Amino acid sequence: MAACAGCDPNLFHDRACQRDALACCASCPVAEPCLFDALAHEEVAGCRFGVWGSTTAARRTRIATYLADRRLSVVELLAAEESWWAEHLRDLRGGPRVAA
């Protein structure tokens, strides 16, 4: 379902292609979950790179700083919202809805 499915992955990791990568993400139906996944991974890994979820590494750094200043962890926020995301993604895929 991702707009980037089938795209060359280098598009999202080359700073020279950043504008094209962001354009690809602009209409993506799963950009928000992609962003949260990137933030969670980067929180654990400790590094940021490329375009994910319609954001640059610099933008995700600002988001992570905002959350850290409020003592919020992306990983903890995602765990708290896991059932909501699972239902939301099932809805996007057209699969059966399961009560949480």
7 backbone φψ class: left, alpha, beta (φ>0; ψ -120 to 50): beta
Q: What pLDDT score does 29 carry?
A: 94
79 by DSSP, 3-state: which? helix
Residue 73 has phi, psi (to 5 degrees) of -110, 130
Q: What pLDDT score does 14 carry?
A: 93
pLDDT digits (tens), the chain, 100 positions: 999 999 999 999 999 999 999 999 999 999 989 999 999 999 889 899 999 999 999 999 999 999 899 898 888 877 777 766 666 666 655 544 444 4
Single-letter amino acid code for the residue at 74:
V
Would you say the pTM of this structure is higher than 0.95?
A: no
Q: What pLDDT score does 38 carry?
A: 93
Q: Using CA of residue 77, residue 78, residue 79, residue 80, what is the dihedral sign? A: positive
